[in-house]
A = this chain, B = another copy of it.
Amino acid sequence: MHILILGAAGMVGRKLTERLLREGRLGNRDIGRMTLHDVVEPARPADAKIPLKVIASDFAEPGAAATLIAERPDVIFLLASIVSGEAEADFDKGYRINLDGTRYMIDAIRTAGGGYKPRLVFTSSIAVFGAPFPEKIGDEFFHTPLTSYGTQKSICELLINDYTRRGFFDGISIRLPTICVRPGKPNKAASGFFSNILREPLAGEEAILPVSEDVRHWHASPRSAVGFLIHAGTMDLNTMGARRNVSMPGLSATVGEQIAALDRVAGKNVVARIKRVPDPTIIGIVAGWPRDFAMERALKLGFTTAEKTFDDIIRIHIEDELGGKFAA
């Protein structure tokens, strides 16, 4: 089979690529080749045993999408997206990439002809929900985005449901929790601190905690995110009926619980590297974010996390990113 990954240069895209190359199969089918796409050329993994094609293009340019599906990939992972902060700061760019880009892609599939009907896995986000909402957001809570990013993701979910219903492809939209621990350097995203306060201390660096310890949020490890994508790429989607959009499972934890887990896994010295510097702007933004989710539907559909506790989330980071060691 042929797999196309859009957004392959991003964090989740890279990890998905690595796992698919390592396993050589998706579900019970061997992977014959893969196409990796992003707006910047994705790194070509070393020692890949599967034929790889690497493409850099702007998929929101008319015509680009048709090129990407010219070789009729069987499964398409559509991870490409402008992040929340950028979609809010640059209105035109956000709509162009997150809405028009997705639409060019699904219309290219729709009009490809020859009975082409791939699996399409789209990464949506819990940003489709905005306050006020219940402490635990249910599987039938309505689209209430409070950002342009969340609006764009909501719209893409609706499009993918409709295009699937019309038989143009076999689609699913999965809403990822906030990924924690996010590897890489600290960034200025308002959500960055959820990872920074774990990743930086484990690397021997100080990290800033800008909110109080009672802030609760919804997390999943990068390993879980890749697992969700693989399951979405292989499961029988007909079990979902017409509602092909679903919130993924995760772990609800307060910042205090995150820090307690870090203490258990890595010890006091590591925890001591967290500096408390309240930031009223970030406190305000985070106050409007989801804290917890009912996940009955996702579990029933067979989606599972790689972690049972927040301690596991930290251990997964140490295993997958730090070669099993941290700065004690």
Q: Provided the pairs A130-B242, A242-B146 are in contact, do residues A91 and B166 lie with their beta carbons within 8 angstroms?
A: yes
Tell yes or no: A162 within 8 A of B by CB: yes
Tell yes or no: A116 within 8 A of B by CB: no
Tell yes or no: A102 within 8 A of B by CB: no
Alpha-carbon separation in the docked complex, A162 to B162 (Å)? 21
User: How many whole Å from A50's CB to the nearest CB in chain B?
Assistant: 36
Contacts of A144 in B (CB 8 A): 242-243
Contacts of A166 in B (CB 8 A): 91, 148
Alpha-carbon separation in the docked complex, A242 to B165 (Å)? 30
List which A158-178 residues lie within 8 A (CB) of chain B. 158-159, 161-162, 165-166
A140-B141 in contact (CB<8A): yes
A158-B145 in contact (CB<8A): yes
The number of times this chain is found in the oligomer is 2
A162-B148 in contact (CB<8A): yes
Contacts of A158 in B (CB 8 A): 143, 145, 151, 154-155, 158
A151-B162 in contact (CB<8A): yes
Contact of A155 among B145, B148, B159 (CB under 8 A): B159
Of A143, A145, A166, most B-chain CB atoms within 10 Å: A143
Contacts of A162 in B (CB 8 A): 145, 148, 151
Alpha-carbon separation in the docked complex, A151 to B151 (Å)? 14
Contact of A161 among B91, B140, B151, B242 (CB under 8 A): B151
B145-A142 in contact (CB<8A): no
Alpha-carbon separation in the docked complex, A165 to B162 (Å)? 26
User: How many whole Å from A159's CB to the nearest CB in chain B?
Assistant: 7
Alpha-carbon separation in the docked complex, A148 to B154 (Å)? 15
Alpha-carbon separation in the docked complex, A91 to B106 (Å)? 13
Q: Which residue of B lies closest to A161 (CB)?
A: B151
Given contacts A140-B141, A146-B242, A151-B162, 18 further A-B contacts (CB under 8 A): A91-B166, A141-B142, A142-B142, A143-B143, A143-B154, A143-B158, A144-B242, A144-B243, A145-B162, A146-B165, A148-B162, A148-B166, A151-B159, A151-B161, A154-B158, A155-B155, A155-B159, A158-B158
Identify the A interface with B (CB < 8 A): 91, 130, 140-146, 148, 151, 154-155, 158-159, 161-162, 165-166, 242-243
